[in-house]
A = this chain, B = another copy of it.
Amino acid sequence: MLPKKMKALVKARSGRGAELAVVDVPRPGPRDALIRVRACSVCGTDYHIYAWDPWAASRVRPPLVFGHEFCGEVVAVGEAVRSVAVGDTVSAETHVACGRCSLCRTGQAHICQEVAILGVDRPGSFAQYVSLPEENAWKNPPGVAPEIASVQEPLGNAVHTVLSGEVAGRTVAVLGCGPIGLFAVGVARAAGAAAVYATDISPYRLALAPRMGADRALDASRADVVAELRSLTGGEGPDVVLEMSGSPAAVSQALKAVRFGGRVSILGIPSRPVEIDLAQDVVFKGITIQGITGRRMFETWYQTRALLSSGRLDISPVITHRLPMEEFELAMELVGSGQCGKVILYPSPTEV
């Protein structure tokens, strides 16, 4: 018998903060799976909701169980569900796309404009249970650690970014060593990049980059990033630059550092418009800029699983903190401070 009540982390009202509360266990619809959460991981987005920044205030409608990265066990399925079964261990593609628009019907569901995001637009996974459409449940092979399974979602962002162009034998710069940037370092390295250079301004995060395979970690608060990247690449600039920081300065560095004809893939989200010298940095250089969001459904998930299960990619250095869900305030503080890689929360397995 499934319990009626569960513990969950609730954004109860506008303003900073959240609270651990007892709420109803969600009822899965006919095409949904109900999942008991084993581990969930904290995303920057979760911190924005916790801290209630302008984006969160404009998008989120409290009260809401938030959180979206997780791994858990299917405990019930709706009557029309055919692709997952009770007992399966699943992670979540957190973008619930509409499935009917032209983007969804042409392999671009990751940019569906009718998307509902778990823990943002619908109840999330900082909870003992979460309900999810079966299409969004990603079955894991046996033996994957719950925290590794949980972070496949942001890892997928990195896989999507890195593998959106050629990498093998290319020089790659990753600007920004938050968890997704660190994952990208590892993915680029696993995919045969000839060299991977990483930048950040946090000593804590710069120290993690070599552990993920960076050949060189540059402190962007001190180094002349453009000059250094050119120098490291024989004066030409990296073949590929991945912007993962959201810093306007890094965007400019990306465009100026990349070699003529190179690729700049941007996953970082600048909080304000950025001034770009299109003539010198884009047109005459003949570069390609890609905006990257989400994960390709489900190409990226297959690639991610393959890289993990083959052992080509080890992401464990990025998982720096493991806490019971009760210590969510410490978790949010850590994420806000940048003194962490990925922070994992574990809901209590049984007790409500």
**What residues make up the interface of A, taking CB atoms closer than 8 Å to B?**
30, 80, 82-83, 100, 102-103, 105-108, 110-111, 113, 159, 163, 166-171, 187, 190-195, 236, 251, 260-261, 266-271, 273-279, 282-294, 297-299, 302-304, 306-307, 309-310, 312
- A261 in contact with B168 (CB, 8 Å): no
Candidate in A30, A170, A306 with the most chain B CB atoms within 10 angstroms: A306
20 contacts between A and B (CB under 8 A): A82-B100, A83-B100, A102-B236, A102-B302, A106-B302, A111-B284, A167-B191, A169-B312, A192-B192, A193-B312, A195-B310, A268-B283, A271-B279, A274-B275, A274-B276, A282-B289, A282-B291, A285-B293, A286-B290, A289-B291
Closest B residue to A313 by beta carbon equals B192
CB-defined contacts of A279 to chain B, threshold 8 Å: 269-271
Number of copies: 4
- B168 in contact with A190 (CB, 8 Å): yes
Closest B residue to A248 by beta carbon equals B278
Closest Cβ–Cβ distance, residue A299 to chain B (whole Å): 5
- B278 in contact with A283 (CB, 8 Å): no
- B278 in contact with A284 (CB, 8 Å): no
- A194 in contact with B310 (CB, 8 Å): yes
A310 vs B271: C-alpha distance when bound (angstroms)? 37
- A291 in contact with B278 (CB, 8 Å): yes
- A283 in contact with B271 (CB, 8 Å): no
Closest B residue to A252 by beta carbon equals B273
- B286 in contact with A288 (CB, 8 Å): no
- A276 in contact with B277 (CB, 8 Å): no
Closest Cβ–Cβ distance, residue A61 to chain B (whole Å): 20
CB-defined contacts of A111 to chain B, threshold 8 Å: 260-261, 284-286
CB-defined contacts of A299 to chain B, threshold 8 Å: 106-107
Closest Cβ–Cβ distance, residue A186 to chain B (whole Å): 11
CB-defined contacts of A106 to chain B, threshold 8 Å: 298-299, 302
